Amino acid sequence: MTLIDFLPIVPEILVLVMASVILLLTAADKCPTAGYVPSLLTLLGAAVLTVVTGGLGTDVLVRGLVVVDPMGDVLKLVTYFAAMASFVYGRAYLREFGLLRGEYFALALFAVLGMMVMISSASLLTLYLGLELLSLSLYTLVAMQRDSAQASEAAMKYFILGALASGLLLYGMSLLYGATGTLALSGIADALHGQSGNTMLLTFALVFIVAGIGFKLGVAPFHMWVPDIYQGAPTAVTLFLASAPKLAAFAIVMRILVLGLPELLHDWQQMLAVMAVASLAIGNLAAIMQTNIKRMLAYSTISHMGFLLLGVLAASIAGFAASLFYVIAYVIMTLASFGLIVHLSRKDAEADTLDAFRGLNRDHPWLAAMMAVVMLSMAGLPPFLGFYAKFFVLQALVGGGWIALAVLAVMFSLIGAFYYLRIIKLMYFDAPIEGDHRIAPVGDAVGLLSFNGLAVLGLGLLPQGLLALCVIVVQASV
Read off the pLDDT of residues 238-277 as tens digits, 9 standing for 90 and up. Answer: 999 999 999 999 999 999 999 989 888 898 999 999 999 9
Query: Minimal CA–CA distance to 439: which of 372, 337, 350, 374?
Result: 350
pLDDT band for 27, please (50, 70, 90 cuts). Answer: confident
pLDDT band for 435, please (50, 70, 90 cuts). Answer: low
**Residue 228 near residue 45, CB atoms below 8 Å:** no
**Residue 321 near residue 463, CB atoms below 8 Å:** no
Give the distance, in angstroms, between the CA of residue 274 and the centroid of all CA atoms in the same chain: 21
pLDDT band for 405, please (50, 70, 90 cuts). Answer: very high
Residues near 445 by beta carbon (within 8 Å), at least 6 away in sequence: 88, 89, 91, 92, 339, 343
**Residue 124 near residue 183, CB atoms below 8 Å:** yes
Residue 95, burial from CB neighbour count under 10 angstroms (0-12, 13-18, 19+): middle
User: How many Å apart are CA 38 and CA 55, to the nearest integer?
Assistant: 27
pLDDT band for 198, please (50, 70, 90 cuts). Answer: low
- Look over the chain and give the mean of its residue pLDDT values, rounded to a whole number: 89
Give CB contacts under 8 A, 24+ apart, made by 474-477: 474/71, 474/317, 474/320, 474/321, 474/324, 475/317, 476/56, 476/57, 476/58, 476/69, 476/70, 476/71, 477/58, 477/69, 477/70, 477/71, 477/72, 477/254
pTM for this one? 0.94
60: β partners = 67
* 96 pLDDT above the threshold of 90: no
* Rg, the chain, Cα only: 21
User: How many Å apart are CA 130 and CA 238, to the nearest integer?
Assistant: 20
* 47 pLDDT above the threshold of 80: yes
Q: What is the dihedral of CA 185, 220, 335, 46, to 10 degrees?
A: -10
Q: Where are the domains positioned within the chain?
A: 3-477
* 362 pLDDT above the threshold of 90: no
CB-CB neighbours of 252 under 10 Å: 22
What are the DSSP E strand ranges found in 58-157?
A: 59-61, 66-68
* 135 pLDDT above the threshold of 60: yes
pLDDT of residue 57: 67
